Structure 1
Amino acid sequence: MLQIQASREAPPLIDDARRARLVFCLVAAGVMAAALLALAASLLQDPDSWWHIKVGQDILASRAFPTIDTYSYTFAGHPWIAKEWLGQVLLALAYDAADWSGVALLTIAMVVLTVFLMSWHLSVWLKPTLAAGLTIVLALLIDPVYIARPHIFTLPIIVVWTAYLFDAARNEQAPPLWLLPLLCLWANLHATFTFGFVIAAFAGLDLLMRIRLSNPALLAKWVAFGLLCPLVSLLNPYGVKAILATFTVAHGNEAVPYIMEWRPFNASEHGFQEMALLTVFFGLLVSRLQIGWAKALFLVFTLHIYLTHIRFIYLFFLLVPIVLAVEVAQQYPALSARKWAEEKRDGLEQFFVRRFRQVWGGIAVLLVLASAAFIATYPVAPSQKTSAKNALAFAQTRNLSANLLNSYDFGGTLIFHGIKTFIDGRTDQLFLNGFAKADEQMGRSGGKPVLQAQLDKYAIDWALLTADDSRIPFFDELGWKRAYTDDYAVIYMRDH
């Protein structure tokens, strides 16, 4: 059985080593901030960013939380909840403050905070240079999740949640109760808060592996903590509905197979991540690292979730290193923070220690100045691949207001601009009961009859399609008039 006896205390770090460690973590965060500022526009290319901001704006304006759909005409009046309301409000506030540049900066801030926390927790056990370098690599591996959507606010939370729970298990202590308010915050930010329950369960298994049944009182505290997790998660505007809504996707609704981020991992499309996975398992095999059965189960679980749905890439690449860092440090002392702390500081580290305040202040000033310059000089905005900016301007000049059929990727911008959608990114709760399946079938070979049926059923008078929408030939065959076209969008109108 793979098992080790972990130390009960974190390695002591003397003051200069602690300062050097902090600076390395700040440097890692600064490197990530610079990289993301240079690529800020890429953070705004998800079509769902549009409707998340609009929902947040509507919540702020109405001071009410939606319970039915008011954004589509196909499912108007159906039950729908903004279960990620707080994340949507934060995105809306950023947009209202500084347009899309504000949204990008807020997204960057969350990623940078995650990088800092990640490197900080890793450097408790691993030498700071290794922790900072590894964190930057891991942050690059999960770059597909760096988009302006509510889940971005949960990345720092999940790092802290995992680190402190497994630390409590390792030290044979009760889980910190201050984590419960953090979970409550998580539950109002994004639906992935239910992963918090699962992570707590794995940390509890790690404790059980260590103490077995020798301390019933401690085990009872962990069981009580586990029971409190779903209870504090009910402290949101929708109560138990927010928890139940996560299960509709977790068990797979009909729309899941058609949405890119919910598809299984494909090595041909994610070569960088495949190489990283192979490297991880090669290292585990040749090193014979002993991690215990509870952590081995956690590794398998996070890998399964990632391979099943690529959107959860961060669960594996962020959390597994945090959980295994102590075993690496104890079984390979040359890589440990304890060994590093006992060594004489090299020239670079001595510079960091001597110039701690200046380095820390310098990084902060540079980031503030870079952010200000970014907003003033390099305003960013979503591409027309999701905004359909010129096509919507044309539709406005023609007063096109009747029911439309839209490509999935234009649903967000339509909601943002106050146009009722045929379909949009809220498929976790809406566009079900055969609707999403029919939408997908319309674009297949032989899908023209399905398209014709939907056009007639919903009395559709115009269509806004992406330039590569596979239904475009069918509209030509049905005699619809192509009223507008550019490199990103096509507008068809019914020829009455």
Structure 2
Amino acid sequence: MLTDTSNSIDNSQSKSRLFILVLLAYLTWMIAAFCGTGDDTYWHIKVGEWILNNRQIPTTGIFSYTAANMPWVSHEWLSAILLYAVFSIAGWPGLVFLATLAITLAMWLLFDFLVKRISINICIIFVLFAYFLLTPHIMPRPHILILPIMVFWTAELIKASENQTHPPYPLALVMVFWSNMHGSFIMGIPFILYFAAESVLTIKDEALRLKELRHWLLFFLLSLSALLINPHGIEGLLLPFKLTDQTYVIDHIVEWASPNFHGFQPLEFWLLGFIGFALYKGLTLPPFRLIFLLGLLHLSLKYIRFATDLLPFLSPLILATPLSKQLNRPADFAIGSLYPKNIKHWLVLGLYLAALSFYLPGRTVETKQNVHLGNLLTALQDEKAVLGNVLNSYSLSVYLIHYDYPVFIDSRGELYGDAFIERHFKTTSLEKGAQPLLDMIKEYNVSWTIFETNLPINAFLGERPEWHPIYSDKFFTIYLTQSKDISEQSKLELQKIKDSLPKDDEANDLPL
């Protein structure tokens, strides 16, 4: 009987191992298949290139002629170097692999945490929802690169809290990397205080409680000190607070908008699934876990960015242990069984990675829209001296930077500030009539413009005798002041690009 039971357990474990490995392989492939360029990646690459070429960290508004001398805290400089280094070696396929590696590592760290606390079936559900929620935001950008750091940091804090102890002091060094790669590092500090409170308040022995409180406070101070190890000092620490004060930017940038539930919205499925499950099972959560989850939901409903970056990974971390206890679903799977154990396992892993490495170079990463715009800007490279100062749309700025055109405005909201960005949006949309636009053109000595064709500024310039179009199709329009003109060779290049566009019925994926 014991032998039969043992064989049954081994068979079950074997089937679970195979299913999990196949699932992880599938998710990894899907991440690589759906990873896009991410618009901001274009200018992050150029920041990394500038840093390595100049061997210093930029402190002013490089790439923008309107903000060239304004102070700029380049808080993502380390990510920019990494992105440029990979791009210079392997191009866009290399960046897709980098993003895939970061996401896969984050999912593995999540799985490793969950599988030690709750049943394998619930672990799989959590991992699938993490992938599902993240799918719209899979791209090689700093927020993706730091996902493993965020998951590891939060998992270690929760682990310490659950064990009624404190995090290991060397963990504070993680903040050095996080704070130089992405502005989300600022969340890691209140997380310390939050889980310190959860840990300390659940300790019944007063002497032990005071001892652990001192340890948590020391860890908190070490982490704060680690934040200051950046090229900008205290300004790097304060930057996230300044960004949250830019209400106009936050209200008008898509990724900081609230989720739109009129279309397909992964967050809706997560909410309905969790609410239905909680009501059906009668789930209750400890106060600290409940407050944390409500905070995540609040941020996710207010900003779509958090619904894709935070909720998928942090909610399983805080739910695992309470659900395991209440549902009586303890850990029933050993993660060590997933690691390669013999030459056959390593061979299969090697073949999978080889297949992925062959697939990525043949995958089209840039959209047709990006390639088309890149061709236009490449064709005008020799005309930069003639063109002069540009007035560009906000969304096209990253491509101008990538092709070495000094921009009027770009997506670095912290550089320009709310007032400048608001003025640009309202002026170029002719919200207050023509005069503000004419004043802006005169003030900044603008001599050419590039905007999406359907925007009203193009129709307005088309009626002005001092402007003439040098390129226009149904997607992008470029105007140049009448006092200037480009060479015949450049005109021919632009015409070839226009002639190469697919017919209207074949170009549905090109518009912005």
TM (normalized to structure 1)? 0.87
Aligned position for 1:218: 212
Match for 1:74 among 66, 73, 84?
66
- Aligned pairs for 1:21-36 (under 5 A) are 26-36=21-31
Structure 1 residue 22, shift from structure 2 partner: 7.0
Q: Over residues 421-459 of structure 1, what are the superposed CA-to-partner deviations in whole Å (9 max), with x where a residue is unaligned?
A: 0111111x2222521111111315454332222111111
Q: Over residues 462-489 of structure 1, what are the superposed CA-to-partner deviations in whole Å (9 max), with x where a residue is unaligned?
A: 1111234342222223343221123432
Aligned position for 1:329: 324
Question: Are 1:402 and 2:388 matched, yes or no?
Answer: yes
Amino acid at match of 1:317: P
**CA distance in structure 2 between the aligned counterparts of 1:18 and 1:153, rounded to whole angstroms:** 33
**CA distance in structure 1 between the aligned counterparts of 2:203 and 2:62, rounded to whole angstroms:** 53
Aligned position for 1:250: 244
CA contact (8 A) 1:51 1:412 kept: yes
- Aligned pairs for 1:28-427 (under 5 A) are 28-40=23-35, 43-44=36-37, 46-211=38-203, 214=206, 215-313=209-307, 314-333=309-328, 335-338=329-332, 357=342, 360-378=345-363, 380-385=365-370, 388-396=373-381, 398-399=383-384, 400-427=386-413
**CA distance in structure 2 between the aligned counterparts of 1:23 and 1:441, rounded to whole angstroms:** 57
Judging changes above 3 Å, is the alpha-carbon distance between structure 1 residues 185 and 96 closer, same or farther for their aligned structure 2 residues?
Answer: same
**CA distance in structure 1 between the aligned counterparts of 2:204 and 2:430, rounded to whole angstroms:** 56
Percent identity between the two aligned chains? 27
Secondary structure (helix, strand or coil) at the match of 1:47 reads coil
Judging changes above 3 Å, is the alpha-carbon distance between structure 1 residues 204 and 239 closer, same or farther for their aligned structure 2 residues?
Answer: same
Structure 1 residue 70, shift from structure 2 partner: 2.1
Q: Over residues 222-274 of structure 1, what are the superposed CA-to-partner deviations in whole Å (9 max), with x where a residue is unaligned?
A: 12212222111111111111111111112334322221111223322453211
CA contact (8 A) 1:47 1:386 kept: no
Judging changes above 3 Å, is the alpha-carbon distance between structure 1 residues 129 and 22 closer, same or farther for their aligned structure 2 residues?
Answer: same
Between 22-31 and 259-268, the greater mean CA deviation after superposition: 22-31
Judging changes above 3 Å, is the alpha-carbon distance between structure 1 residues 337 and 481 closer, same or farther for their aligned structure 2 residues?
Answer: same
Q: Over residues 33-70 of structure 1, what are the superposed CA-to-partner deviations in whole Å (9 max), with x where a residue is unaligned?
A: 21123234xx20x3211110000111111110111112
Aligned position for 1:463: 449
Secondary structure (helix, strand or coil) at the match of 1:191 reads coil
CA contact (8 A) 1:126 1:329 kept: yes
TM (normalized to structure 2)? 0.84
Structure 1 residue 383, shift from structure 2 partner: 4.2
CA contact (8 A) 1:141 1:273 kept: yes
Secondary structure (helix, strand or coil) at the match of 1:404 reads strand
Q: Over residues 175-222 of structure 1, what are the superposed CA-to-partner deviations in whole Å (9 max), with x where a residue is unaligned?
A: 122321112211111111111112222211221341267221012111
Amino acid at match of 2:421: A
Q: Over residues 127-146 of structure 1, what are the superposed CA-to-partner deviations in whole Å (9 max), with x where a residue is unaligned?
A: 22431343023212122321
Aligned position for 2:507: none
CA contact (8 A) 2:452 2:476 kept: yes
C-alpha RMSD of matched pairs (Å): 2.7
Judging changes above 3 Å, is the alpha-carbon distance between structure 1 residues 467 and 252 closer, same or farther for their aligned structure 2 residues?
Answer: same
Between 285-294 and 309-318, the greater mean CA deviation after superposition: 285-294
Q: Over residues 68-115 of structure 1, what are the superposed CA-to-partner deviations in whole Å (9 max), with x where a residue is unaligned?
A: 112101111100121111111110011011111111111111111112
Aligned position for 2:417: 432
Between 461-470 and 401-410, the greater mean CA deviation after superposition: 461-470
Q: Over residues 268-289 of structure 1, what are the superposed CA-to-partner deviations in whole Å (9 max), with x where a residue is unaligned?
A: 2453211211322332334332
Q: Which has the larger radius of gyration?
A: 2
Q: Which runs of 5+ in 1 are unaligned?
A: 1-13, 342-348
Aligned position for 2:498: none
Judging changes above 3 Å, is the alpha-carbon distance between structure 1 residues 291 and 238 closer, same or farther for their aligned structure 2 residues?
Answer: same
Judging changes above 3 Å, is the alpha-carbon distance between structure 1 residues 486 and 371 closer, same or farther for their aligned structure 2 residues?
Answer: farther
Aligned position for 2:468: 481
**CA distance in structure 2 between the aligned counterparts of 1:39 and 1:385, rounded to whole angstroms:** 16
Structure 1 residue 386, shift from structure 2 partner: 7.9
**CA distance in structure 2 between the aligned counterparts of 1:176 and 1:447, rounded to whole angstroms:** 60
Q: Which runs of 5+ in 2 are unaligned?
A: 1-8, 484-512
Aligned length: 468
Judging changes above 3 Å, is the alpha-carbon distance between structure 1 residues 120 and 17 closer, same or farther for their aligned structure 2 residues?
Answer: farther
**CA distance in structure 2 between the aligned counterparts of 1:483 and 1:274, rounded to whole angstroms:** 46
- Aligned pairs for 1:8-27 (under 5 A) are 26-27=21-22
